[in-house]
Amino acid sequence: MKQVLKWCEEVKIIEGYVRNCVYDLPRKKYELVSSNCNNLIKLMEGNTITENLAILSSENVEWMFFFLSEEYLLEIPELFRENFPPLSMSWETPNSINNAIIHSKNDVSKVISLLNSVVCKHIQLICENEKELILILDKYLRRTNFHSIEVILLSGTADNTILDEILEEYIVVSNIVVQDTNDKSKSSEKVYFSPFFTTNIDMYIESQNLNLYLNKKIYFDEIGNIKNAPESEDIIGNINEISSSEELKAIIENKNFQKHWNVSKSKCFICSDCEFRSMCFDKRIPYEALTGSYFYKNECEYNPYIAKWKDDEGYQTLEECGVISNENGFSINHEKIAKINALLWSEEGVETE
């Protein structure tokens, strides 16, 4: 039976300004590829390997074998070609809240009990030190419905053995981060998040219409104020003033509390041109521009118009590249960017638009 090529339904391509990103959702990894990837796949799909060898350039033949080796492209009997339903893009969860950030200064018992009532799955617990952490874990979290607890120690031990023991004893604790209080960047205006992304099917689907960082998140600050996230401006209640799960649910259902949940990266200037937009947990708060799209008040550390991170050689800010986004809208100087990219990438082999 004739064997033809078929692109895997669970491997998605997100187009960026300079390059594309292939999201291998089942394997939770990604690859950066050239910007004409989608057209190339359209050209290759449905053909046999031999047919493609006859029509593709030598560079594109290399891409074909790369996609085959990664199992992004599959060789299947032609008869089965239409038997692969598209990946469903509907994202649903029964939980009112998926993740919560709690300070140990709060009434932890009360917060945990209220979070259980809204079926929260993941929490981040901010504690002073490991002694306080062990007390809280022993008292309230030996048996828990939470799937994972990430811990931030504000002034914890440098002794990894103690932390390893905690991780071993309380398997629900997924991670402990000891904050470096000497690191001034933590309290500055710096836009910080790791460039080491990861992806998976749930996250990809959620990212299509929702904000991966802000959606279904809740934050209780040191004095009990309730906000969507630590970075949010709006305070929508205080844990010390509520006593029932109905009151917490009313806060969560408040329009103002949820106002950024559905601001996906595709609705934001700059991010909509970025190949990482379906796996990005950027913590900045988006603001609505007059055009109805969203802008950020400070720049991300990645510039998608030149495919460079701030620490990379040749990095330039958005403004230096002729890209402006603010409450009035968005403007871009394509010619200027083309010149910058020609200088940056002509010898490194990344295709520019």
The footprint of ligand SF4 (CB under 6 A) covers 265, 270-271, 274, 276-277, 280, 282, 300, 302, 304
β-strands 29-33, 302-303 pairing: unpaired
Which residue lies nearer to ligand SF4 by CB, 118 or 191?
191
Nearest distance, CB of residue 70 and ligand SF4, angstroms:
23
Of 140, 139, 104, the residue nearest 125 (C-alpha): 104
Place of tokens 């799960």: 245
Count of beta carbons in the 10 Å neighbourhood of residue 245: 15
How far the first Cα of the chain sits from its last, in Å, is 40
Q: How far is the CB of 32 from ligand SF4 (least distance, A)?
A: 13
Please tell me the distance from the alpha carbon of residue 278 to that of residue 260, in angstroms, as a whole number: 16
For ligand SF4, the closer of residues 87 and 191 by Cβ is 191
Contacts by residues 297-300 (CB-CB < 8 Å, ≥ 24 positions apart): 298/189, 298/191, 299/191, 300/191, 300/270, 300/271
Residue 327's CB is within 10 A of a number of other CB atoms, namely 11
- Indicate the residue among 263 and 270 with the shorter CB distance to ligand SF4: 270
Cβ closest to ligand SF4, residue 228 vs residue 264: 264
User: 73 or 203, CB closer to ligand SF4?
Assistant: 203
In the complex with ligand SF4, the residue whose CB is nearer, 21 or 127, is 21
CA 73 remoteness from chain centre: 25
Structure tokens at 121: 């799955």
> Least distance in Å: CB of 160 to ligand SF4?
31
Residue 87 C-beta: closest distance to ligand SF4, Å: 21
Q: 305: Cβ–Cβ under 8 A, 6 or more apart, which residues?
A: 17, 18, 273, 318, 321, 323, 332, 337, 341
Q: In terms of CB distance, is 221 or 282 closer to ligand SF4?
A: 282
**Could you tell me the smallest distance in angstroms from the CB atom of residue 277 to ligand SF4?**
4
Pair of tokens at residue 37 = 């990837």
Least spacing, CB of residue 35 vs ligand SF4, in Å: 16
Nearer to ligand SF4, 99 or 303 (CB): 303
Q: Give the burial string for 146-178 (b: 16+ CB within 10 Å, else e).
A: beebbbbbeebeeeeebbeebeeebebbeebeb
Which alpha helices (H) appear in the chain, and where do they start and end? Answer: 37-44, 49-55, 58-69, 108-117, 130-140, 160-169, 201-209, 245-253, 318-321, 334-345
Q: Shortest Cβ distance from residue 300 to ligand SF4 (Å)?
A: 3
Q: Which is nearer to ligand SF4, 219 or 302 (CB)?
A: 302
> What is the nearest approach in angstroms of ligand SF4 to the Cβ of residue 19?
12
- Taking residue 188's Cβ as centre, other Cβ atoms within 10 Å add up to 9
Q: How far is the CB of 11 from ligand SF4 (least distance, A)?
A: 20
